[in-house]
Amino acid sequence: MEGGSLTKPFSAAEVKAAVWDCDSFKSPGPDGVNFGFIKSFWAELQGDVMRFISEFHRNGKLTKGLNSTFIALIPKVESPQRLNDFRPISLVGSLYKILAKVLANRLRQ
């Protein structure tokens, strides 16, 4: 892979592809937004999402608290009694998920 492809700015098409690649009905994270909402209102949200992605590309830093995560314990059995009767899942914010997906897609190229 050519090094320049990792450092070039992210295109609107790359970001939109990352959004559409995410499950619309997964649980929202701390921001309360799921991808069904983002896809439904993409025309209104695209500019803000692209500004966030561009700002990250310029500075290489995340906004404080952006990677905040909720940990939820999902029961693996009917009547959980012990901690290992649960499966932990982490719920992260939508912008963080979009950024992670865009970066992962770029690395796969």
**What is the per-residue pLDDT for 2?**
56
Q: For residue range 36-67, what is the model confidence (pLDDT) as tens digits?
A: 999 999 999 999 999 999 999 999 888 888 87
Residue 13's domain comprises: 4-66+93-108
Kindly report which listed range (30-34, 79-83, 98-102) carries the lowest average pLDDT score: 30-34
Distance CA 6, CA 2 (A): 8
The Cα–Cα gap between 19 and 78 comes to 35
- In this structure, of 2-6, 15-19, 37-41, 81-85, the range with the lowest mean pLDDT score is 2-6
The answer to whether residue 51 is domain-embedded is yes
Q: What is the pLDDT of residue 54?
A: 95
Query: In total, how many domains does the chain have?
Result: 1
pLDDT of residue 4: 67
Closest CA to 98 of 26, 5, 4: 26
State residue 44's pLDDT score: 98
Burial of 107 (0-12, 13-18, 19+ CB in 10 A): exposed
74 assigned to some structural domain: no
